[in-house]
Structure 1
Amino acid sequence: MKKINPYTLPPWLRQIRAVASQVVLPIAIFQGFRTIIFPTTFDVLILGILIFLACAFHLDWF
């Protein structure tokens, strides 16, 4: 699998990626608290997706 070089991406896409990597962790924490208080299947699914995205940004998968 080819590793994506972030400098070859357009500037607007690099900015979206940077903002998303900073925003996904606080949203995941908020969703975790919400899932503890109001556990529904939809909340658990969203929390799983947010945790996956946070790990992917931290490990530079995206």
Structure 2
Amino acid sequence: MKKFTHHRMARSFKNSCRKQKVHWRFQRVIDLFYQLLLPLIIFQLIRTLLLPTTFDVIILTIFVLLYILYWHS
């Protein structure tokens, strides 16, 4: 009788749920973008506080959401 091992099923489920790996060059481009995003957020925040327009608020919101999504994943 073959012994049932729970860990095989759990390991295969874990591997299927893992997010796809990104090529290391593309990952470096993504990291560079997010490294530049924080100064852009600060600049956009100052600009929005001094001269608030609808466009500035929308851009600031998009930047902040992108930054939160990056750190959440």
What TM-score, normalized to structure 2? 0.68
Distance change >3 Å, CA 37–CA 3, structure 1 → 2? farther
Structure 1 residue 53 displacement after superposition: 0.7
Distance 1:39 1:3, change over 3 A: farther
* Aligned-residue CA RMSD (Å): 1.5
Q: Which of residues 17, 22, 25 is equivalent to 1:12?
A: 25
Segments of structure 1 that go 5 or more residues without pairing to the other structure are none
Structure with the greater alpha carbon radius of gyration? 2
Q: TM-score, normalised by structure 1?
A: 0.79
Segments of 5+ residues of structure 2 without an aligned counterpart are 1-16
Runs of 4+ in 1 over 6 A off after TM superposition: none
How do 1:27-46 residues align onto structure 2 when only pairs under 5 Å count? 27-46=40-59
